[in-house]
Amino acid sequence: MSTTKARQTGTHVTLSRGDDLPWMLICDEHGGCCEFDSKRQAIYFRSSPINWCEWCADNWRGTDYAG
Ligand SMILES: [Zn+2]
């Protein structure tokens, strides 16, 4: 399990083992999570939580760096 800071949103994301799929990303700020088949996929999406955390997506849309 490892936590990194997503540059896109400035929020922290944890890579962990999933329940249904082998890998899971968790947004530390909001508790949003998404599961992935492969670690490569999970790492690819780790830096862009707006794609899988609905709260990050909302926040991102609401800020002036959207677009
Ligand atoms: Zn989030």
Tell me the C-alpha distance between 67 and 42, whole Å: 24
Contact 14, 54 (CB under 8 A): no
Q: Which residue in this structure is represented by tokens 């780790």? A: 46
CA of 12 to the centre of ligand 1 (A): 8
CA of 23 to the centre of ligand 1 (A): 17
User: 2-40 pLDDT, tens per residue?
Assistant: 899 998 889 999 999 999 999 999 999 999 999 999 999
CB under 8 Å to 44, separation ≥6 — which residues? Answer: none
Rounded distance from Cα 25 to ligand 1 centre (Å): 10
Instruction: Specify the range with the lowest mean pLDDT, choosing from 9-13, 37-41, 52-56, 62-66.
Output: 62-66
Judge whether residue 66 has pLDDT over 60. no
Whole-prediction pTM: 0.85
- Between the CA of 66 and the centroid of ligand 1 the distance, in Å, is 15
Q: Say what the pLDDT of residue 61 is.
A: 80
Q: Where do the structural domains in the chain lie, given as residue ranges? A: 2-55
Ligand 1 centroid to 54 CA: how many Å? 7
